[in-house]
Amino acid sequence: MTTKQPEYSDASRDSLVVQLAGNGGSRPCRKKGGWITFPFIIGTSMMLGLAVNGAFANIIVYLVQQFNVDQITAVQILNVYNGSTNITPVVGAIISDSCLRAFTVILISSLVSFVGLIPLTLTSILPSLRPSPCAPTSNPCETASAFQYAVLYISMALVGVGIGGTRFTIVTFGANQFADGTSREVFINWFFFSFYAAVILAGTIVVYVQDNVGWAWGYGFCLVANIISVIIFIIGKWHYKDVRPQGSPFTSIVRVLAAAIRKRRVALSPNAEDYFYQDDSIEVAKKQPCLLTPKFKFLNKAALVMEGDTHSNGTIAKSWRLCTTQQVEDLKTLIKILPIWSSSIFLSIPIGVQASMAILEALTMDRHLGSHFSIPASSFLVFTFLAAAIFIAVLDRVIYPILHKLLGWSPTLFQRIGAGHLISIMGMVAAALVEARRLSIAHSHGTMDQSNATVPMSALWLVAPLALVGAGEACHLPAQMSFYFEEFPAPLKGSSAAMMAVIIAIGFYLSAAVVKIVKASTSWLPNDINHGRMDKVFWMLGVVGAFNFCYFVLCAKLYKRKPSIKH
């Protein structure tokens, strides 16, 4: 007589394993991954975000006050740094996918950012690592030496490398700890909440310490936060699920281009069986309905089977000379997305310029709340993040459900992105009006020619244009993320988030270029903005934004969505 063994669901079995392990049972195995990893990963992300954001949230003020850098040059340095820190995460994600394990990449990168913060902290402690203070009678002020700039730039470069290995890698690493999609979504939501929380804390508490207690204390705080993040991450090591690198999906893109170029002189065949088709993970060259589309015909050559491209059993012999039809079509999909993607780059340029200029404006305005508290100039950018977070919640939980309930309609992804364009243009217009008012007051009160004089106008006027930009981001950023995730080829969906980082990076680089061109060709951006016409810069950006909106609408009308995607 046999005894029927009890059947357990996956959840019951996992619970039984944990109970046996905790009670000294015969299965002392520990389940890896799951919610036990949550506090370690979120704690690591938040402390690391506090460290790197706190170190550079106030860098414009630090460069102007401690390194005697003129204001516009300080803006340029920040824009280049921000661009770099949005490019390096893409590199870090590729390395994590193809070479090293995510745990190793995160750990090494966190240590690199810690090492990078050390020389920055030393510049605030040792007078020999920065130029002498600029006295009121000295004109011009003493500039930093080549060595002092080298220490500063090496610090920024190392922190940028550290961010590259953590910003995307850590969210992917955390999501991989969960087996079901619902848990992943909850984790990702909390991850972005912790990210915004770290940015807000860095832009308020850390900046306040730097401005009112001392730069050394502020940067020292960032240094301690970074090492705490490393400790938290290492403590959780025994709970993490090990995820081995699977190879970067971007490699296939490069292979398609390489194969097409190598076969550029070969004529395309009208026969479907002459192209390499992948069926159920078994790559064979056999007669199948040709999946290749007529657009971008040149790329079809990458899937054309030539002598020596395959083994005798039909598998690929030379991966850099032959690709599957699906790999070719995946690349075509990316090319089709590029126009929409490029319109987002032009959307990022005004936002990058405004963020930097708002700090310069705040430095000249009355930042007092009451008689004893003064808002740090760099903290005003927090209003953009606060507005974005609030509007995302309101749109998702209030506006969109009401529209669907009352009208039976919800805005499409393209409509949400377009709304973000329009609100961002409104933000530029508001910024131009506020700046024109600031210049008018500065002129009427005779502060134009007074060095470091405060314009008798509340800096809280800056909140409206910054909040509008944040509201615009609440519309277009989530919609863009959803659009890229839906439209990206299946092998590249995990890297769709990198598209946003590249957009932001290029936007910041071009922001620096725009500022440089305007400064060189006009009198709008002198070193003392009270003698300039920054309002004209904002009007120019608003006009550019309007043309870019028209370009986006055209691209959206011409774009053909995947048949399976519905709005």
Tokens for 57, please give them.
Answer: 């949230």
What integer pLDDT is reported at residue 97 of this predicted model? 66
pLDDT of residue 450: 61
Q: How far apart are CA 532 and CA 92, in angstroms?
A: 41
- DSSP character for 206? I
CATH H-level superfamily of 332-560: MFS general substrate transporter like domains (1.20.1250.20)
- Domains 30-245 and 332-560 alike in fold: yes
| pLDDT at site 27 | 46
pLDDT of residue 118: 94
pLDDT of residue 359: 85
Crossing angle of helices 325-364 and 463-487, rounded to 10°: 170
How far, in Å, CA of 467 to CA of 426, rounded?
11
At 365, phi and psi to the nearest 5? -110, 170
Q: Identify the CA nearest to 423 among candidates 545, 553, 551, 552.
A: 545
User: Is-cis flag, bond preceding 401, omega within 30?
Assistant: no
Bridge-partner residues for 523, per DSSP?
none
pLDDT at residue number 437: 94
CA distance 7 to 26: 19
Instruction: Count other Cβ atoms within 10 Å, centred on residue 564.
Output: 6
| Backbone Cα Rg of the chain | 27
**Which residues neighbour 155 within 8 Å (Cβ) at sequence distance 6 or greater?**
116, 117, 118, 119, 120, 123
Q: Where are the domains of the chain?
A: 30-245, 250-331, 332-560
pTM of the model: 0.72
pLDDT along the chain (567 residues), means of 10: 42 41 47 83 90 87 87 82 78 71 85 92 91 72 87 90 79 78 70 80 89 91 93 89 68 86 89 73 44 84 86 79 86 88 87 86 87 82 86 82 85 91 95 94 74 81 94 85 76 66 80 87 87 93 94 91 49
Instruction: Extract the runs of DSSP E, i.e. beta strands, from 311-417.
Output: 365-366, 368-369, 373-374
Residues 6+ apart with CB under 8 A from 216: 121, 124, 125
| Segment (H or E) for 14 | helix 10-22
The Cα angle at residue 548 between residues 545 and 552, in degrees rounded to 5: 135
CATH ID of 30-245, from 1.20.1300.10, 1.10.10.10, 1.20.1250.20, 1.10.150.120: 1.20.1250.20
